[in-house]
Amino acid sequence: MDTRKFLDLFERGKTGKKVDKSDWDMDYIIDNVMDLVEEYEFDWDREVLIPEDDALFADMFKAARELLIRTGIYNMTTGRIMQLSPEEIDEGLRNMKTELTMGEGKDAYTLVARKVEDERPPAIWAGNPGCPTPERLYYPIVESVAKEPVIDLLTCGSLVDVDGYGVQNGEPSEIFAVRREMEYLHRALEKVGRPGMGLLAAESAVTEVGDLAAVAERWLRPCDSHLVALFNELIMDNGNLVRTANSLDYGMKNASLACTMVGGLGGDAPGSCMIMIASIMAANLFAAADYHLCHPIHITDVATTARGCLWLQSVLCQTFAKHAPAIIVCDLWPTSGAMTKELLYEVAANSIVVTVSGGHLEGIGAANGRVPHGTGLECRLMGQVGKAVARMKLTRSKANEIVLALVDKYEHAFKMKDGNPGKCFDEAYNMETIEPLPEWQQMYDEVVEDLRSLGLEL
């Protein structure tokens, strides 16, 4: 996107219609989504998490486009609507990338727009994205992921302290945190012999201040990517528009991120899916997105492994694969943490759904990304399952059968009184060797055997 076009879009946040946030939520989101859900008669079956209904995908695409035409995007900084014309939306869809090379040299990896039941393997973009992590654990967690041969690209958590000082948004500590994060990432890649691997990073950048601090060849390179977020629902702010502008001349890749709430303003899975698709359409322009992250959040279960979130990710990936090919990367945020079998079953189920539906895999935000209870081991499983699904040419119907069996093995965790966070990284891994402790490795081996018994060729 050229500078003139982006500045034109930005100006709409100054000149658009003034609307209160509460009116935006009620009159623009809830009313329009509910009207479109009724018009298209959208519904879903909790036993069909990977639909095969081409009419559903066609209608979902049309409804999402119509929703964005009706609403536009709300600028939370100015309280104004940034409207888009149908022609602009369609141009953004036509210009979506279907190939994108991340990283450099021998470690470069090319993302592609995958098809439904695609035999090409999904990208394995591994780490504990956005998870608040103390500095004492940060590098060991990164190394535990980077050393897994099955991964293609690296991401990370966010530092909560630097040199013993808590990180505060928009203060000097945020700048130091972002640059310390980048130092740890590059150190890990050097150690495992993959220095050119592409990154999704600057996760410690909560504000645009941190994002600006990451821009340097020694930190976030032009061959890497950062996040440009949309808020719930169909909302941006000037800070994220600044993040977009920050990348346009420098060249780093923009990853749009929408975290639509299933059971929130859009209602159940179909309405929320419509919002997420509309968010991606908008992000083509306001985020100048090179690729898109799909991260639904369930209003009670939180995790992307809740049935409604699995359905949403499947329908969204298939809708784009069939009607507007794009690079869709789905976040995996299970409710369970390290040293629990439930975490591994959640990872397997989510990986199957996304892969067979045409998406790429990113994560894992173990324990809902709230605590540093993620390790490289479950990232290994994500990679093995995703690549097995493609290699086996698994069908959607067989995938749905396996996923339902896996859901039965972990769904109880959503109802546990204190959740199922498992254990911290240093209770799951040997901190000297950065290898899984025997108990954690044994759980992994047992789950792998379970998956094989269900028909996965791992």
- pLDDT tens digits along 36-53: 999 999 999 999 999 999
Q: Show the low-confidence residues of the chain (pLDDT under 70).
A: none
**Contacting residues for 404 by C-beta, under 8 A, at least 6 apart:** 47, 49
Six-digit token string for 319: 């809708």
On whether the pTM is more than 0.85, the answer is yes
Residue 129, burial from CB neighbour count under 10 angstroms (0-12, 13-18, 19+): buried
Instruction: Locate 40 and state its tokens.
Output: 């298209």
- Count Cβ atoms below 10 Å from residue 93 Cβ, excluding itself: 18
Give me the pLDDT at residue 249, please: 82
Judge whether 365 and 303 are in contact, CB under 8 Å.
no
Kindly report the number of other CB atoms within 10 A of residue 447's CB atom: 22
How do residues 323-382 score in pLDDT, each as one tens digit?
Answer: 999 999 999 999 999 999 999 999 999 999 999 999 999 999 999 999 999 999 999 999
Pick from 209, 234, 259, 237: which is nearest to 369 by CA? 259
**Nearest to residue 29, comparing CAs of 231, 229, 233, 230?**
233
pLDDT at position 216: 87
Question: Which domains are assigned to the chain?
Answer: 99-453 (3.20.20.460)
Give a three-class secondary structure readout of 409-424: HHHHHHHCCCCECCCC
Q: Which two tokens stand for residue 52?
A: 């095969």
pLDDT attached to residue 218: 87
Buried b (16+ CB within 10 A) or exposed e, 139-149: bbbbbbbbbbe
CA distances from 128 to 239, 263, 299, 419, 432 (A): 24, 25, 21, 18, 20
Query: What is the structure's pLDDT at 458?
Result: 93
Write down the pLDDT at residue 127: 98
State the amino acid at position 222 in one-letter form: P
Picking from 209, 123, 226, the residue whose alpha carbon sits closest to that of residue 169 is 209
